[in-house]
Structure 1
Amino acid sequence: MTVRRALISVSDKTGLEAFGRFLADRGVEILSTGGTFAALRKAGIAVREVSEATGFPEIMDGRVKTLHPTVHGGILGRRDLPAHREAMETHAIAPIDLVVVNLYPFEATVARGADFAETIENIDIGGPAMIRSAAKNHADVAVVVDVEDYEPVMAAMTANDGAVPDTLRQALAAKAYARTAAYDAAISTWFAKVLEVPFPERMTLSGTRTEVLRYGENPHQEAAFYRTAEMRPGVASARQLQGKALSYNNLNDTDAAFELVAEFDSRPAIAIIKHANPCGVAQAESLSAAWDAALACDPVSAFGGIVALNRSLDAATAEKIATIFTEVIVAPDADAAAQEILARKKNLRLLLTGGMPDPLAPGLTWKALAGGFLVQSRDNGRIEAAGLQAVTKRAPTAAEIEDLLFAFRVAKHVKSNTIVYAKGGATVGIGAGQMSRVDAARIAQRKAADAAAAAGLAAPMTQGSVAASDAFFPFADGLEVVAEAGVTAVIQPGGSVRDQEVIDAADAAGIAMVFTGMRHFRH
């Protein structure tokens, strides 16, 4: 299939002049519209307006310009069918061998917050129609929807005497349909948001592949990373300054760490994550102090973990983190001295996101099931001091309330069932992902005792701490375990039929307890 005639109509004009000149130098007749025509003409490239070829002018502010039989007949006509060739000859329709279209910037228009009318005008109609026509007839027509494909097409035409091989045309067609599908998905998603319909009857997920990963959770699984249109700082927006390529598990754990540390904005905070669960979280007056407190919670599990910071990484903190093996460090930024220190660790990945995600922002999350997927709103719930209900004889002190709120925010990011012990703005014991809440409390207690022994402390760090539970205590036994650990206050959602039994156990132990009325299951 030798390219003799091309139609070019692009919003993104990157590389347009070079590509247009290449085609013109090969004797390809170029048809074009609007701004693309003007840009090619200005560059001195021979180009013909589509309206001249169709004999019909652009009308309705450019809404109607390529929706014409001369255009679509030239694209859709099959060269191998005599009836098609006869129809083209009868109606003076010349074949179009190459269609180059990238669409109106709808996604970018939405992202910058344009009003309804402007957004509607950035819904492309003629572009998707031509793309779909060319992709359907890829046996005779090459379709290009991405400026990154100019080079492969030019190389193929150069190597094949002006022809685009079958395999490349098929690949370009597949990419074209993926692009129009993503475009329509973006439009339907925007409409659903405008109409305040969180779960429309049909929902399409769309993403752009940023990287094919070496493997998935395990070496026998294949994986890739896709970026969606959501403008949320994190692993998708991050710039990797150093280190080897990120794995599936690295990306998953880094996302978990960064979302957790974003919960804390009033003071510098650090979260250390291992297998998507925190093994230490702390906030302090400096990142360096926060690191010390977070690491003290579980220094054994921190080995080979992911470290997330809510402030720009400084040299003092970088020096401390560099003393243990760390897979990834993610932060909004890092100063030059910190970058220089970490550069010594060639395999350590340093990711700079340029900002922090808003933990209170709305959004959706997805989970795949066999034959479908679950969709829910992001867990952006947050409890403040005013929302606490004291249910025991003793109300918590101001210091206890501060730690209770801290512990409950951490518990929100730990796999259920979970118990989190905290003291002085730092976790001192975490029990994650247990089938029994009692076991979660015991594991957290035991890990705190192990950390205390390793640090040479006389007593477990849970003595004088507070405890947070992501869901209610179904029985008093869980409360009794945290009491044995030495806690002075407990925060939990409440709502069990045995709440009074649990409250009585707290009173018997002299523990203050508050209910939140909000659960934070995480599966």
Structure 2
Amino acid sequence: MRALISVYYKEGIQDLAKTLYELGYEIVSTGGTAKLLANMGIKVTKVEELTHFPEILDGRVKTLHPAIHGGILYRDWIKTDKEQINQLGIKPIDVVVVNLYPFEEKLREDLTEQEIMEFIDIGGSALIRASAKNFYRVVVVCDPKDYLWVAQKLKDGTLNLQDRRYLAYKAFSLTAYYDALISRSLGSIFEIEDLPDHFALPLVLGSSLRYGENPHQKGWLLHNPMEQLGITRSRVLQGKEMSFNNYLDADSCAKLVSELQRPACAIVKHGNPCGVAIGKDLMQAFEKAFQTDRESAFGGIVAFNDRVNKFLAERLADIFLEVIIAPEFTEDALEVFSKRKNLRVLQFLGYSYSFDIKKVSGGYLFQNEDIIDYEDLKVVSKRYPTDSEFNDMLFAWKVCKYVKSNGVVIAKDGSTLGVGSGNVSRVDSLRCAIERASRYGFELKGSVLASEAFFPFRDSIDLAHQAGISAIIQPGGSIRDKEVIEAVNEYGMAMIFTRTRHFRH
């Protein structure tokens, strides 16, 4: 029996190697792994003793040889395979323990293009794939987490076919991930924006979730190694396990508040903002946001873009909230939250841009993320907005970007007064926003309105004027823009076209 051991990450390999050696396996190894095992008192056969060929090209070529791959790919149930390896003097290799060069870790270092290429593993990937292909005979181990149980099963003689299948599945999953990571990284390094005909996305399992959107659905949290920031990288400082829906809402909430000037607060429920505000401090920002819609805030997600202190924590602890998010918390704030054991507290350090991906039957829809607020603001009304109107319009426009279509936001003095979302008619969304504002006693005179898409008719303008709204920001682009602008001028309102839309489905 023969085992090939060649690992970059050597932690934990000693126990498996010792087990194999004690079971009578001849240990074949390379470079640093061979030295480590020899120092343990394990007799090691170096790869070059099998290949009769030295390592070349500064170690780039070591195991890429018929004496190695023939020993791995040999099928003991095929008569001609037996004849060939006997004729060529090739001995079977029964166990392969390999892991790969640290390409992922080296991406985070300031390396040149040529330097990073040196950390693309060729021989290791080939060994893993060959062993996994021949799992009927060869045991392939590429994950250090598997060393102990594989060693124990080899000792007990209980390593069965299903175990081999599982290890082969993990092996091909690793090499697929590794190649996908290289592909996406080179696209970035080479500044290639177009997708190739064959596209792979590297993902790492973060954790299994209790369930998906509903209890009967399974759910998982996956990390994209190309993004070092984001909600999946946030630190859960306390509370119950984050759910699938918690992550969805928390992502929207944290990204929204991150786009606003400090100090700001955003409250999200079921994927939609229900209250957003900026203030002189976080306490004021929260109170303004909370007053927008106290009912919807119940059981919601709250995010801040500055440090949360004890006084704000005490106020938040009085309300039933699912998740509280901020870039930083004071120690005494965390002490306050600790008394609410089920309350989830997340430290969110920002987000990076990648692809926006949506699942559809049969495949996926990919797009660049929506990172442009507007392309070219243009005042299209006769009246120019006042400074306060202009500031509120930009604030409302940022919030509207995160409202499900058809989405509208009414705002004033750096605070949302009413949010209308998800209706099949834009005018219905506006009616909902006005009704919400009225329910909580907000005076809409002098407020502004943001719509994430153009107004197809003047009916929304008529309704906005009746409610007291004085200025509107929207993308423009409707075939009835002239009619809409005429209505705005008729009422003495101000209107800005952003020439950018923010549909959010």
Tell me whether 1:126 sits opposite 2:123 in the alignment. Answer: yes
Equivalent pairs, count: 504
Matched, 1:418 2:400: no
- The normalised TM-score by structure 2 is 0.95
Indicate the residue corresponding to 2:389 in structure 1: 400
The structural deviation recorded for 1:45 is 4.0
CA deviation map 1:150-199 (0-9, x unaligned): 12212322333xx6322221111001111111111122222333151332
The equivalent residue for 1:210 is 206
* Structure 1 unmatched runs, 5+: 453-459
Residue 145 of structure 2: aligned partner: 148
Q: Give the structure 1 partner of residue 99 of structure 2.
A: 102
1:334-373 to 2 correspondences below 5 Å = 334-353=329-348, 355-357=349-351, 362-373=353-364
Structure 1 residue 470 corresponds to structure 2 residue 466: no
1:62 offset after TM fit, Å?
1.5
Q: CA shift at 1:138, angstroms? A: 0.8
Query: For residues 42-441 of structure 1, what are the structure 2 equivalents within 5 Å?
Result: 42-160=39-157, 164-193=159-188, 194-264=190-260, 266-353=261-348, 355-357=349-351, 362-383=353-374, 387-441=376-430
Shift of 1:73: 1.3
Q: Secondary structure at the match of 2:274?
A: strand
CA-to-partner distance for each residue in 1:229-272, whole Å, 9 max, x for gaps?
Answer: 232422211222222222211111111111111112x3122211
Other structure's SS at 1:472 match: coil
Is residue 457–residue 480 contact of structure 2 (8 Å, CA) maintained in 1?
yes
Q: Deviations over 1:457-511 (max 9, x none)?
A: xxx2433211111011111111222222222211111111211211121122221
What CA distance in whole angstroms lies between the structure 2 residues aligned with 1:10 and 1:263? 44
For the 8 Å contact 1:475–1:501, the answer to whether it is kept is: yes
8 Å CA contact 1:310–1:356 kept in 2: the answer is no
- In the alignment, which residue of structure 2 is the partner of 1:457? none
Contact 2:185 2:226 in 1 (8 A): no
Shift in CA distance, 309/21, structure 1 to aligned 2, threshold 3 Å: farther
Q: Give the secondary-structure state (helix, strand or coil) at the position aligned to 1:300.
A: helix
Q: Distance in 1 between matches of 2:10 and 2:387?
A: 60
Q: Residue 475 of structure 2 is aligned with which of 458, 474, 493?
A: 493
The residue matched to 1:236 in structure 2 has which SS? helix
Map Cα deviations across residues 9-34 of structure 1 (whole Å, 9 max, x no partner). 22222323343334334443222222
Q: Once the 2 structures are TM-superposed, how far is the Cα of residue 303 of structure 1 from its aligned partner?
A: 0.7
Residue 112 of structure 1: how far off its partner (Å): 3.2
For the pair 1:446 / 2:441, whether they are aligned, the reply is: no
> Cα 1:142–1:424, aligned 2, differ >3 Å: closer, same or farther?
same
Contact 1:383 1:405 in 2 (8 A): no
Distance 1:113 1:153 in 2: 37
- Asked if the contact 1:429/1:462 (under 8 Å) is kept, the reply is no
Equivalent position of 1:23 in the other structure: 20
Structure 1 residues 470 and 113 mapped into 2: Cα distance closer, same or farther (>3 Å)? farther
Deviations 1:40-96 (A, max 9, x none): 334554333211222111111212110111111111112233332332222222222
* One-letter identity of the residue aligned with 2:360: L
Whole-Å Cα distance in 2 between the matches of residues 16 and 495 of structure 1?
64
Q: Say what the alpha-carbon RMSD is for the aligned residues.
A: 1.8
- State the partner residue of 1:455: none
**SS of structure 1 residue aligned to 2:342:** coil
- 2:303 and 2:153 map into 1 onto residues whose CA distance is 46
TM-score if structure 1 supplies the norm length?
0.92
3-state secondary structure, aligned to 1:507: helix
Per-residue CA deviations over 1:128-168 (Å, capped at 9, x if unaligned) read 111111101111111111111112212322333xx632222
Report the Cα distance in structure 2 between the residues aligned to 1:437 and 1:333, rounded to whole angstroms: 38
Gaps of 5+ in 2: none
Summarize the Cα distance change of 1:207–1:497 in structure 2 as closer, same or farther, 3 Å threshold. Answer: same
AA partner of residue 274 (structure 1): K
Distance in 2 of aligned mates of 1:405 and 1:61: 58
2:231, 2:351 within 8 Å by CA — same for their partners in 1? no
Q: Is this contact kept in 2: 1:207–1:226, CA < 8 A?
A: yes
* TM-superposed deviation, 1:113: 4.7
